[in-house]
Structure 1
């Protein structure tokens, strides 16, 4: 797991032996946990290998779907909410395919891939205003909402890339 945040307390949290001990005691796999905490801005160049991560989470963080997609491997998963507009941006990005929602009922979460066409529809049926989402860092208001949205990463070959092939 790699955790990136500008909060100066991040290093102390992940260096705390009690935190590591708790993670090790509660893991459900044989390998030792590997945790990297980077104090920094995810939109800057990070000391991470590109195309290697299986999953990205973006909750109340901004546009991780754009800044960090270079680290996500093909077929990887993005899970994000729409608080700062990341789900709106990912939905309009051809590199992502919308595959499911996470619904929340009190403290119970479920994942559904049913009726996905009912999401990302504005009341006035107009398209998502990307410029507005980017400027305000607020997701569009849709008629049907989920707790979070799940996308798979399938990068498109860009014209400039295909001309050099």
Structure 2
């Protein structure tokens, strides 16, 4: 059997997201997270003490099944921002599951749902988020665009990503999520196209609070 793909290898293609999760952990009360469509991105566990990863990819299942490899990857690759010290012994759990059908997690138990570059997960997994918890999403596959239309969610930060650096923007949020074509800002159109709508000021991602 070939060696499993590693976080180090994957990070070389997507970039290092550890500063993003360090910034989130520092700015918000995040102790437990559910990462939907995670593949092998261990970045959240460098800053969040309890993370459940969910994916159907067999390569992800092989990676997470090797606990020694996962621990070694976290030691070798964890480099969060200085403001958020490394988590000493993070709890890492992996579920090989189709999250659109629900996952094995207690309801209202998560501080953060992570949905980046995957099919929309909010509707299927909102029950796992505690009241006042957060959804981190981007416009890929329409997740952030659908979230922006949900009255139960409030935008509390935009995630800017430039020159390899992440920055949380918490002021002037009215500049974000403004559709270039307002007629496309409806759930039917977004679901039919399977992608997010274009905004006048795009961002890497968006953080919503569940009201």
Considering only aligned residues, what root-mean-square deviation do their CA atoms show, in Å? Answer: 1.7
Query: Is 2:152–2:210's contact at 8 Å kept on the other side of the alignment?
Result: yes
Deviation at 1:8, TM superposition (A): 1.3
**Residue by residue, what CA displacement relative to the aligned partner does 1:3-25 show, whole Å, maximum 9, x if unpaired?**
11110122210122122233267
Matched, 1:98 2:155: yes
Matched, 1:19 2:76: no
Matched, 1:28 2:86: yes
SS at the partner of 2:127? helix
Which residue of structure 2 lines up, in the alignment, with residue 50 of structure 1? 107
Larger radius of gyration: 1
Matched, 1:153 2:203: no
Matched, 1:78 2:135: yes
Larger relative contact order, structure 1 or 2 (CA cutoff 8 Å, min sep 6): 1
Gaps of 5+ in 1: 155-165
Instruction: Give the TM-score normalised by structure 2.
Output: 0.67
Deviation at 1:136, TM superposition (A): 1.6
Gaps of 5+ in 2: 1-50, 79-84
Query: Is 1:14–1:20's contact at 8 Å kept on the other side of the alignment?
Result: no
SS at the partner of 1:3? strand
2: CA distance, partners of 1:123 / 1:91 = 14
Which residue of structure 1 lines up, in the alignment, with residue 53 of structure 2? 3
Matched, 1:122 2:179: yes
Which structure shows the bigger proportion of residues in helix conformation? 2
**Count of residues in Structure 1 that have an aligned counterpart in Structure 2:** 153
Instruction: Give the TM-score normalised by structure 1.
Output: 0.85
Compared CA separation, residues 45 and 124, structure 1 to 2 (3 A): closer
1: CA distance, partners of 2:173 / 2:60 = 36
**Residue by residue, what CA displacement relative to the aligned partner does 1:102-161 show, whole Å, maximum 9, x if unpaired?**
00111011001122111222234446121011122100111110110010111xxxxxxx
